[in-house]
Amino acid sequence: MESPGLRVKLKDSKKAKMRDKLEETVRKTIQRFGLLAGGEHVLVAVSGGKDSLALWDLLRALDYEADGLYVGLGIGEYSESSGTYARDFASERTAAGRRVPADIALALHDAT
């Protein structure tokens, strides 16, 4: 299943090539800098935006056990809709047979 963060208006073959190239770049970067060891569990802070959801999706595509932690930015309706989007994103992955734990909301202004 493709990440909404990676939706690009290109022909399917070009889109697949872009995704493959991105996955390969992320995989090589993780290996080159020793960012993650095999079997490590990764927690990705997600805001509901394209960047964080794409990272979460990429790590899962690379077979890392990656879960998302929703971080509400405290920006009123924007944060509410982003939280809904992040929960829907997680639910879609659960429906696809991949384990995604219940999300946890944390507002930044509450953490300081």
Q: Are 1 and 96 in contact (CB under 8 A)?
A: yes
User: How many C-beta atoms surround the C-beta of residue 18 within 10 A?
Assistant: 13
Predicted local distance difference test score (pLDDT) of residue 82: 86
Q: Are 22 and 6 in contact (CB under 8 A)?
A: yes
Whether pTM > 0.95 for this model: the answer is no
CATH number of 4-111: 3.40.50.620
**Residue partners of 6: CB distance under 8 A and separation at least 6:** 18, 19, 22, 54, 57
10-residue averages of pLDDT along the chain (112 residues): 50 85 95 89 86 91 86 82 86 54 45 48
Domain limits, the chain: 4-111
Q: Measuring CA to CA, how many Å separate 100 from each of 9, 22, 67? A: 28, 23, 6
